[in-house]
Structure 1
Amino acid sequence: MSAEVRRRQTRPRGGGLRRRSRRERRRRSRIRLLVAVLVPTAVICVAVAAAPLWTDGDDPSAAAAASASSGPVKDSTDSAPASSPAASAGVGTEPTVRAKPRTKSKPSSGSSPSAGSGSHPVIPPSGPGTFTVARAGASDTGKGNAYRVEAEHGTGVDPDKAAAQIAGFLAAPRGWAHGGEHTFHQVSKGAAGLVVRIATAATTDRICGKSGLDTHGEVNCRVGVDVMVNLKRWQTGSPEFDGPLADYRALIINHEVGHWLGHGHETCPGKGRPAPAMMQQIYGLKGCVANAWPYDTKDQYLGGPSVS
């Protein structure tokens, strides 16, 4: 075979190797470029996935600090200084309320004789601790003990309607106004030596508890100038009280205002006799019959033995 023929046979083989080499270099270049693009992208994705999910201002530590700094809601209406000797005496201490076992004749939130046969309104267990002052029927001038009526926001109680009912109790001949012995007039602003506040159980417990009285979500109290009326009792009465709801409301006011006037607790004077207004009738009548008023129709005081 001639030298020329050999050159022709080897030339294509060498050219094929060079072409394969160029293709291999181009493939490797594409791989290096792809790696250069994908690796930083993967790093960015991992970093994003690991970052906490909040925006500016949503730092959990800042939110926790803000929550810790918020204090309790305060009453919107401050009680005025006492304007009567009985009110200025301070807390109406009720040791029998504080020491009364919870298992004894505890009232329920269900139907009660004093509430009638109709259905009860929804009674919230707690509220904001702020109050609306009754204005209807109020006068900034008048004779006797100045008092104010308030209803906690969210209770559903119309303070003006409640005030009208309370005014009737305070002026009733069988009440503490008996024979002109005490007189009262309602105010909406200015000094008030007596403040009747209708409030949820939680708010009543809180305000009464400031003076060491345990109302355990069920009963009323008198603390200083404040008569705290438990919303549950105002709306449902008591299972121990056999009478209309209006009469039980009269008992609430007569009992707590009696404390404000300086009267202590009394007990049943005898089987079949009217229970004193100053008796804690919600804990049982002890043989007496339910009664809402301090006096009878013959101007006789309906009292009983003192409870120490």
Structure 2
Amino acid sequence: MTAHTTTPSRSRRRRRGATHSSGRRRRTGRVWAGLVALTVLGAAGFAAAQWAAPGDGQARTDAGQETAPDRKATSTPTTDAGSTQRAKPAPAPSRTTPTQPSTPTIPATGPGTFVTASGGSPKAGSGRALRYRVEVETGLDLSTADVAEQVDRVLADPRGWTADGTSAFQRISSGTADFVVKVATPGTVDKICATQGLDTGGEYNCSVNDDVMVNLKRWELATQYYADDVRSYRALIINHEVGHFLNHGHVTCPGSGQPAPAMMQQIKGLKGCVPNVWPYDAQGRLITGPAVP
């Protein structure tokens, strides 16, 4: 078989050339397409970056969530529970009118009947016990229990008459009493004291027979020397009038600046002494002075 070479025709050469030219155009198109794609992707990436960045009025939490800041947080108060509430104006300070101590009502006179304090007290003192009752005139605005408690404390105090070593006291509410402490209106005190010729003039106390009479005016108002310590003056009344029951007479001031004796009529003036309501001092010494009629 004889081999031979065929010379390509012109038309075939053009077809090949056309094929080569088409390949270059195809590659060029791909380059341009890539550049266009990169441009589009770049623009898209820039747009995505712009969207993802926090805009004005946003903040990020530690967890990465985007939250709008509370622009009212600096002006809206928050309760301990975390809920917000509207701020309330501070309340205006309240104005109170100072209360003046009320003056006790002192009836001029009463019915002359009495209410006995219930119960009793332990014996106070080392001598034979003198039994006593405490009574308050009917209708008075006084607690019989409170009056009895005050009388009990006075008679049991170591600076009282038990310091003489022979006197002792015990309160009872029934049975026979050695003496009776009675708080009554000025008119009733005057009537009872007058039975023994004593003129109390609606102002004073007295001791007659087995009655220790306490004027309601003195119990509630004391005197000018004890105006700021009414309870102390009540102790003086009890010690003075029970002292009379024990046969102690009046004495006067022993000297300027010294304690006024309990048996001194202090309501009429201290005469240079200083106020004192006890028969004995803390060392058990009798506080006394020159005797007076």
TM-score (norm 2): 0.62
* Residues 290 and 283 (structure 1), Cα distance of their counterparts in 2 relative to 1, 3 Å cut: same
**Offset of residue 136 of structure 1:** 3.1
**Offset of residue 240 of structure 1:** 2.9
Aligned to 2:272: 287
1:90-129 equivalences in 2 (<5 Å):
118-129=101-112
- Give the residue type in structure 1 aligned to 2:240: H
Aligned to 1:296: 281
* Residue 117 of structure 2 is aligned to residue 134 of structure 1: yes
Flag structure 2 segments of 5+ consecutive residues without an equivalent: 1-99
| Percent identity of equivalent pairs | 53
What CA distance in whole angstroms lies between the structure 2 residues aligned with 1:136 and 1:165?
A: 14
Q: Is this contact kept in 1: 2:160–2:280, CA < 8 A?
A: yes
Aligned to 1:272: 257
* Residue 257 of structure 2 is aligned to residue 236 of structure 1: no
* Residue 205 of structure 2 is aligned to residue 220 of structure 1: yes
What CA distance in whole angstroms lies between the structure 2 residues aligned with 1:139 and 1:303?
A: 28
* Residue 156 of structure 2 is aligned to residue 183 of structure 1: no
SS in 1 for 2:136: strand
**Offset of residue 179 of structure 1:** 6.1
Q: Is this contact kept in 2: 1:144–1:182, CA < 8 A?
A: yes
What CA distance in whole angstroms lies between the structure 2 residues aligned with 1:217 and 1:207?
A: 12
* Residue 158 of structure 2 is aligned to residue 173 of structure 1: yes
**Offset of residue 182 of structure 1:** 1.4
Deviates more, 1:253-262 or 1:175-184: 175-184
Q: Which has the larger radius of gyration?
A: 2
**Offset of residue 120 of structure 1:** 2.5
What CA distance in whole angstroms lies between the structure 2 residues aligned with 1:269 and 1:243?
A: 25
Aligned to 1:83: none
What are the superposed Cα offsets for residues 193-214 of structure 1, whole Å, 9 maximum, x if unpaired?
1100000000000000111100
Structure in which a larger fraction of residues adopt helix: 1
* Residues 287 and 217 (structure 1), Cα distance of their counterparts in 2 relative to 1, 3 Å cut: same
What CA distance in whole angstroms lies between the structure 1 residues aligned with 2:160 and 2:228?
A: 17
Q: Is this contact kept in 1: 2:118–2:145, CA < 8 A?
A: yes
Query: What is the aligned residue count?
Result: 191
Backbone CA RMSD of aligned residues: 1.9
Flag structure 1 segments of 5+ consecutive residues without an equivalent: 1-116
SS in 2 for 1:144: strand
SS in 2 for 1:254: helix
What CA distance in whole angstroms lies between the structure 1 residues aligned with 2:248 and 2:167?
A: 14
* Residue 259 of structure 2 is aligned to residue 261 of structure 1: no
TM-score (norm 1): 0.59
**Offset of residue 292 of structure 1:** 0.3
Q: Is this contact kept in 1: 2:119–2:172, CA < 8 A?
A: no
What CA distance in whole angstroms lies between the structure 2 residues aligned with 1:200 and 1:269?
A: 33
What CA distance in whole angstroms lies between the structure 1 residues aligned with 2:116 and 2:104?
A: 22
**Offset of residue 159 of structure 1:** 1.2
- Give the residue type in structure 2 aligned to 1:163: A
**Offset of residue 139 of structure 1:** 7.8
- Give the residue type in structure 2 aligned to 1:240: Y
Aligned to 1:104: none
What CA distance in whole angstroms lies between the structure 2 residues aligned with 1:296 and 1:193?
A: 26
**Offset of residue 123 of structure 1:** 1.3
**Offset of residue 242 of structure 1:** 6.0
**Offset of residue 158 of structure 1:** 1.2
- Give the residue type in structure 1 aligned to 2:134: V
Aligned to 2:179: 194
